[in-house]
């Protein structure tokens, strides 16, 4: 692929890996194939990968209308080359047409099929003459919403039924935008250090120690390297803040460790057990957390939390359970292509097993916070209700008092407190 720009070559390799059903975009975009690119090329490669994954369903529909054979009969290299070229032509304004088409043809040649390269050339030239309409479409039902925002229709139908058409549309629109980057300020001079690195910041929506990155690359700076800041979604941080205080704490599904770090920061005298099923991810936590001066004692435990026989010894348990991730499609757009309705039931069963297990570890008078990054009731309310219905020693409590505690401590700012959920 010597005739292909480095950014497009890297994006093609990542998308081809993901087309085979393996890997996650957030991990693959930190592989050496991307890390060794210039900052400009790294940014383009990231935009290409994430953009293709976000709009893949719409791209496939546009391409399929111009094919003489079913899309599934195409070599995976050809499918990815077509998507990559079509995305640049339809959704990016500053990419020259000749570059988008010519380099996609070169990528298709990597499949070793001259006919395929010619087909890619012909289809992309047709797409180039039929740009997307700039007019805002009037969406009146779930079918139109799914089509307009490149989401699986079954998933959009669920959201429309549960949240209503307009709220579902806001969710889909959010999913199609680049996910915002948030940083936690872990030192008094952290914000000033970021400003000196020409990182533009704005206050976050809820937490006072969090900033939203407006411009700049925090990952390449000294502030992150020196431990002054940590990149972590604000929602993830809010969950850990809501967990509250304890002296013996269990973080049941701890990796990658951001919530564990906050638990340690807020509970410097605690003994924390950080448990995870992944040896690789747990090892990453062990490298990260000992560098921070939290004071708390952290014991890292490699185990499947659902299979542990826990004793009632913890006064605080955080159970941020693995889930479908339907609340993270902006950051992990490939999820929509791998998820099925049946997967929600499988996740539910797994989550019930996990929650039942950790409930056994809560001592009398202790607290347990269950959370997921899913929007689906099967993974949230249904899990909690199924578990608590079989236990008369647990009760649901409102998070209102935790909201008030965080606001009073200056951790949660007033505007964030006003946005508090009304659920328990």
Locate 35 and state its tokens.
């890390």
CA distance 408 to 64: 57
Give the chain's length: 424
As a whole number of Å, the CA-based R_g of the chain is 23
How far apart are the C-alpha atoms of 349 and 305, rounded to whole Å?
A: 14
> Is it true that the peptide bond before 256 is cis, omega within 30 degrees of 0?
yes
Q: Kind and range of the H or E element at 406?
A: helix 400-408
CA dist 392 and 387 (Å) reads 10
Longest Cα–Cα distance of the chain, Å, equals 70
Secondary structure of 18-52 in the HEC alphabet?
HHCCCCCHHHHCCCHHHHCCCHHHHHHHHHHHHHH
Give yes or no for a contact between 199 and 213, defined as CB atoms under 8 angstroms apart.
yes
For residue 43, report the phi and psi dihedrals to the nearest 5 degrees: -65, -40
Nearest residue to 245 via CA among 401, 422, 417: 401
Of 358, 412, 420, 418, the residue nearest 203 (C-alpha): 412
C-alpha 232/C-alpha 393 separation (Å) is 34
CA separation for the pair 97, 99 (Å, rounded): 5
Contact 63, 71 (CB under 8 A): yes
Round to the nearest angstrom and report the end-to-end CA distance of the chain: 55
Residue 373 is among the residues annotated as catalytic for this protein: yes
Q: Per the residue annotation, which of 275, 319, 323, 373 is the catalytic one?
A: 373
Alpha helical stretches, state H, 190-246: 190-196, 222-225, 234-243
| Residue that has been written with the tokens 């990231």 in this structure | 46
Strand partners, 244: none
User: CB neighbours of 32 closer than 8 A, spacing ≥ 6?
Assistant: none
Helical (H) or strand (E) element with 279:
helix 279-288
Residue 209 in tokens: 């120690």
Active-site residue numbers? 373
């Amino acid at each position: 692929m010597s005739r292909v720009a480095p950014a497009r070559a890297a994006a093609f390799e990542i998308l081809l890996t993901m087309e085979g059903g393996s890997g996650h975009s957030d991990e693959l975009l930190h592989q050496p194939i991307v890390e060794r690119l210039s900052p400009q090329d790294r940014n383009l490669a990231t935009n290409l990968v994430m953009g293709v994954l976000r709009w893949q369903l719409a791209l496939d529909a546009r391409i399929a209308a111009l094919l003489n054979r079913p899309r599934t009969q195409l070599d995976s290299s050809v499918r990815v080359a077509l998507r990559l070229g079509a995305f640049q032509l339809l959704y990016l304004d500053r990419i020259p047409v000749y570059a988008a088409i010519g380099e996609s043809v070169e990528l298709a040649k990597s499949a070793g099929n001259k006919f395929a390269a010619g087909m890619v050339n012909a289809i992309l030239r047709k797409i180039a003459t039929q740009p997307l309409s700039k007019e805002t479409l009037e969406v009146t039902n779930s079918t139109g919403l799914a089509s307009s925002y490149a989401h699986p229709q079954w998933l959009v139908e669920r959201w429309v039924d549960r949240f209503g058409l307009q709220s579902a549309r806001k969710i889909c629109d959010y999913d199609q935008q680049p996910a915002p980057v948030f940083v936690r300020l872990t030192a008094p001079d952290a914000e000033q250090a970021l400003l000196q690195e020409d990182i533009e910041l704005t206050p976050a929506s809820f937490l006072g120690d969090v900033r939203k990155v407006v411009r700049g690359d925090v990952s390449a700076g000294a502030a992150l390297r020196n431990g002054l800041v940590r990149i972590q979604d604000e929602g993830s941080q809010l969950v850990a803040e809501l967990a509250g205080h304890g002296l013996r704490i269990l973080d049941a599904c701890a990796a990658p460790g951001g919530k564990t770090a906050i638990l340690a920061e807020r509970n410097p005298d605690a003994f924390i057990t950080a448990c995870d099923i992944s040896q690789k991810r747990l090892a990453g936590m062990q490298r990260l957390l000992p560098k921070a001066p939290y004071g708390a004692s952290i014991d890292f435990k490699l185990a499947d939390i659902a299979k542990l026989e826990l004793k009632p010894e913890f006064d605080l348990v955080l159970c941020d359970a693995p889930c479908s991730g339907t609340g993270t499609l902006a950051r992990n757009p490939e999820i929509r292509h791998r998820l099925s309705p049946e997967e929600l039931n499988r996740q539910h069963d797994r989550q019930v097993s996990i929650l039942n297990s950790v409930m056994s570890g809560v001592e009398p008078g202790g607290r347990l916070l269950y959370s997921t990054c899913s929007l689906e009731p099967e993974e949230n309310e249904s899990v909690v209700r199924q578990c608590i219905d079989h236990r008369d020693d647990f009760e649901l409590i409102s998070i209102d008092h935790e909201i008030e505690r965080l606001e009073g401590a200056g951790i949660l700012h007033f505007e964030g407190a006003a946005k508090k959920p009304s659920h328990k």
